[in-house]
Amino acid sequence: MPEKPPILADKHHDAPSAFTPESLLREARRQKGAEAVAVPKVCLLDPDGDIVRQLRAEGRAERHQGWVCYHTDMWILDLDGHEIGVVGCAVGASFAVLVAEEMFASGCELLISVTSSGQITPQGAPPYFILIDRALRDEGTSYHYVPPSDWSDAPERLLSRLNGAFEGEPRVLTGSTWTTDAPFRETEAAIAAARARGILAVEMEAAGLYAFAQARDRAVICLAHVTNQMGTIEGDFEKGEANGTADAFAVVSRIVDRLG
């Protein structure tokens, strides 16, 4: 019988990690001379960075001085009376989960990810949102957290509390996505296979984030902002008002009202 490929071999999912986010943050605080300051209980991942750029342009966000992640800055936003910690440009499952681990080690209790995505099964003209209930595991990070399977599922306890939360505009559907590590290897055959599974869109983070949530018993919700048809039409990749931030905030606010 052939040996397992490295992505599946020697994972020992129930074993603790020798390298932890707590130890990394401890040493980062030592090196930077920073105090241990908790992040907001609700945090937001903004892989595209459009939300962070818009907040800074409008003067609506302040840098979190206690966030010592080596790779990112965190910005603090007041959203309808809720304090939100926002990190931008954490693209891909491995980067998103690295930041998620550090957020929860720093006091986060609910993480929401809003990532742009490409349309697989048409549900009308973009842009619109998908509340991701499960993500196809076509990336690497999830296999380090949970045993092999086709899908990473959203925490059911969170999904059930979001029933009826998205009536009206902006439009929010519930469905599955395909998480890939290689966006420029989305071949026609791969797209057709995803469509045959009933997948609505392709993105780069959800499978890893949901596997992390399952393994660590964390509260994570992922949204796909369907903004494009993968460049197959002219004028693609338009998000809407203020690069889609107005709609994104409306959706995030409804989630926080139900779960925060």
pLDDT digits 0-9 by tens, 139-167: 999 999 999 999 999 999 999 999 999 99
Q: Is residue 14 part of a domain?
A: no
For residue range 200-234, list pLDDT tens digits in order: 999 999 999 999 999 999 999 999 999 876 555 55
Q: Is residue 16 part of a domain?
A: no
For residue range 18-61, list pLDDT tens digits in order: 999 999 999 999 999 999 999 999 999 999 999 999 999 999 99
Q: Is residue 130 part of a domain?
A: yes
State the CATH number of the domain containing residue 86.
3.40.50.1580
d(CA 154, CA 90): 20
- Dihedrals phi, psi of 127, to nearest 5 degrees: -90, 150
Query: CA distances (Å), 182 to each of 100, 153, 203, in order?
Result: 21, 21, 10
Exposure of 124 by Cβ count < 10 A (0-12 exposed, 13-18 middle, 19+ buried)? Answer: exposed
* Beta carbons within 8 Å of 153's beta carbon, 6+ residues apart: 133, 134, 210, 214
What confidence category does residue 1 fall into, taking pLDDT thresholds of 50, 70 and 90?
Answer: low
- Dihedrals phi, psi of 162, to nearest 5 degrees: -95, 0
Q: Is residue 197 part of a domain?
A: yes
What confidence category does residue 237 fall into, taking pLDDT thresholds of 50, 70 and 90?
Answer: low
State the total domains in the chain.
1
Q: Is residue 31 part of a domain?
A: yes
d(CA 118, CA 75): 27
Q: Is residue 48 part of a domain?
A: yes
Domain that holds residue 156: 22-259
For residue range 71-108, list pLDDT tens digits in order: 999 999 999 999 999 999 999 999 999 999 999 999 99
d(CA 203, CA 137): 11
